[in-house]
Amino acid sequence: MSVRENIVQVQERMAAACHRAGRQVEEVKLIAVSKTFPAERIREAYEAGLRDFGENRVQEAAPKIAALEGLEITWHLIGHLQSNKAKRARELFHWVHSVDSVYLAQKLDHAAQNSSARLPILLQVNLGVEETKSGLREEEALRTAEEASSFSSLEVRGLMLLPPFSENPDEVRPYFRRLRTLADEIRMALPAATELSMGMSHDFEAAIEEGATMIRVGTAIFGMR
């Protein structure tokens, strides 16, 4: 299957999930996760109509972003960000989904150029409380969101979830639901925090049914890594 055919299939799955949930397809943004794939594959997806791409490492993304300069791409950083790479991340990316500390938010804020627009960020929440995964604990999320929103060059736009891995989307569904509940609480303090980045190739339908506004899809678009 070509990248273009894969994208059509993903869009059909998205439309069906939106229909089941009584949502409009425009409410859910498809982010094509292009990690490990070269710039030519990204260009194919772009030519098939996609405009949002996700990468999880700053160093890997930099040459691809350079190679595709001039295209109207919105780049999303979705992987763990080390604070010493905050400046480079800010130069390359339009969104950062993986903010997991006030310290990192501060580093991103300090990396801002004087005139640059506010950087939209999401806070990554680790609902599984897995030692191996980065992310805030549920009870830290609200306070972190409030502190991060005090940085003038950042805009806290919502939450991101990397749930415990399960083949079965119904086992992941309770985590999607909890992230949504948490986001509803945070939105009372921060009305701009409307985004829920959750759902990957094997479980994005469940995520859409539970309120995802951004899904991060790699394998189903580009094939196996």
Closest approach of ligand PLP to the CB of residue 216, in Å: 4
Q: Which of 89, 175, 164, 178 is nearest to 130 (CA)?
A: 164
Contact between 219 and ligand PLP by CB under 6 A: the answer reads: yes
Give the number of residues in contact with ligand PLP, rule: CB under 6 A: 13
- Count Cβ atoms within 10 A of the Cβ of residue 57 and give its class: 0-12 exposed, 13-18 middle, 19 or more buried: middle
Closest approach of ligand PLP to the CB of residue 189, in Å: 26
Among 3, 28, 30, 33, binds ligand PLP (CB under 6 A): 33
Amino acid sitting at position 5: E
Closest approach of ligand PLP to the CB of residue 202, in Å: 6
- Residue 26 backbone dihedrals phi, psi, to 5 degrees: -65, -15
Binding mask 157-186 for ligand PLP (x = CB under 6 A): -----x------------------------
Among 3, 200, 206, 207, binds ligand PLP (CB under 6 A): 200
Residues 213/194, Cβ–Cβ less than 8 Å:
yes
Contact between 64 and ligand PLP by CB under 6 A: the answer reads: no
Contact between 134 and ligand PLP by CB under 6 A: the answer reads: no
